[in-house]
């Protein structure tokens, strides 16, 4: 009987330890030559903002304050302290139902990013009916004017992954492993946009979560 009791305790001990373990942090990007983890340490190291962004367990989360609505509160965006020209960036994002945000780059003036930058749209577009034509406000669309070529966004409440490469006049956008946009930035309305500038994430007055943000200059 003592042997049986000891065996049961031996089996139960690892289970009790697992139950008491703290919540697992978001896995940080593995260090690789040339890559910079933009969520290393805390937000203040690489970013600036007046918005209600927080950082915990490897996740940067936007929780708008009461009364904060719309997208024209430029300083509330999460802006990089450094400017970039040619780069590759990877990050995970999660929106809630009807969520809306965007990744901005080559922003010459952070107080006028819509006119003096380029945006890759972040949106809760997974639930749109297949019959609705894609537009530049679907996830992976490029504003102004370029819709994604396919729907690959996951439903609200799930993590999505972007890989975005901007080199010279070529922009390639991958969402969840599929190429959704390949654009010649020297043509159309994007031709007049700056070649170098800040990167950032939009505060649209709606919740947004980000993790595993890393970048390398090309």
Question: Looking at residue 20, what is its pLDDT?
Answer: 43
Beta bridge partner(s), residue 80: 47
The separation between CA 3 and the C-alpha centre of its own chain, rounded to angstroms, equals 54
The separation between CA 68 and the C-alpha centre of its own chain, rounded to angstroms, equals 20
pTM equals: 0.85
Tokens of 54: 């927080």
For the chain, 218 residues long, the average pLDDT of each consecutive 10-residue run is 40 40 52 92 96 97 96 97 98 96 98 97 90 94 96 97 98 98 95 97 98 98
Long-range (24+ apart) CB contacts under 8 A made by 62-66 are: 62/101, 62/201, 62/203, 62/206, 62/207, 62/208, 62/209, 63/207, 64/203, 64/205, 64/206, 64/207
> Hey, which CATH number is domain 2-217, 3.30.70.270, 3.40.50.300, 3.40.1010.10, 2.60.120.560?
2.60.120.560
Count of C-beta atoms within a 10 Å radius of residue 53: 20
């Amino acid at each position: 009987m003592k042997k049986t009791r000891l065996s049961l305790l031996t089996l139960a001990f690892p289970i009790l330890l697992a139950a008491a373990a703290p919540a697992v942090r978001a896995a940080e990007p593995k260090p690789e030559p040339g890559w910079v983890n933009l969520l290393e340490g805390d937000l203040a190291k690489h970013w600036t903002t007046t918005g209600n962004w927080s950082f915990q367990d490897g996740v940067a989360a936007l929780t708008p304050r009461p009364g904060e609505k719309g997208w024209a509160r430029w300083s509330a965006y999460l802006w990089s302290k450094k400017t970039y020209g040619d780069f590759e960036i990877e990050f995970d994002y999660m929106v809630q139902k009807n969520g809306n945000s965007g990744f901005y780059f080559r922003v010459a003036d952070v107080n006028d990013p819509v006119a003096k930058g380029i945006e890759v749209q972040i949106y809760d577009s997974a639930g749109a009916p297949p019959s609705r034509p894609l537009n530049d406000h679907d996830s992976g669309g490029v504003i102004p004017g370029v819709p994604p070529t396919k729907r690959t966004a996951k439903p609200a409440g799930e993590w999505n992954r972007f890989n975005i490469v901007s080199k010279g006049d070529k922009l390639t956008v991958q969402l969840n492993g599929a190429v959704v946009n390949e654009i010649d930035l020297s043509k159309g309305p994007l031709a007049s946009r700056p070649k170098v500038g800040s990167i950032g994430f939009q505060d649209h007055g709606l919740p947004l979560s980000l993790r595993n943000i890393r970048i390398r200059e090309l």
